[in-house]
């Protein structure tokens, strides 16, 4: 992945609560596990900048 490409992972509401990194993902051991607040359709991890998109968000 090039330096200016965002990593986007699509998840569903059933996957909440959301933590990063997600076990089994290619960066699952890349930084400490953090729980992310979900206030909109997209949430970004402050450590690795991965964007999590909730595909069935109805907020």
In a domain, residue 30? The reply is yes
Q: How many CA atoms lie within 13 A of 1 on its CB side?
A: 9
Count of domains in the chain?
1
In a domain, residue 1? The reply is no
Task: Please write the tens of the pLDDT for every residue from 46-56.
Answer: 999 999 999 99
The mean pLDDT value for 15-23 works out to 89
Confidence (pLDDT) at 28: 63
In a domain, residue 23? The reply is yes
Neighbour order of strands in the sheet with 51-54: 8-11, 51-54, 42-44
31: DSSP letter? S
Please give the residue range of the domain that contains residue 40: 8-54
53: DSSP letter? E
The mean pLDDT value for 7-29 works out to 85
In a domain, residue 37? The reply is yes
């Amino acid at each position: 992945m090039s330096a200016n490409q965002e990593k986007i992972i699509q998840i569903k509401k059933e996957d909440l609560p959301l933590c990063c990194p997600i076990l089994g993902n290619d960066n699952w051991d890349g930084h400490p596990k953090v729980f992310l607040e979900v206030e909109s359709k997209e949430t970004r991890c402050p450590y690795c900048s991965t964007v999590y998109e909730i595909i069935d968000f109805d907020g």
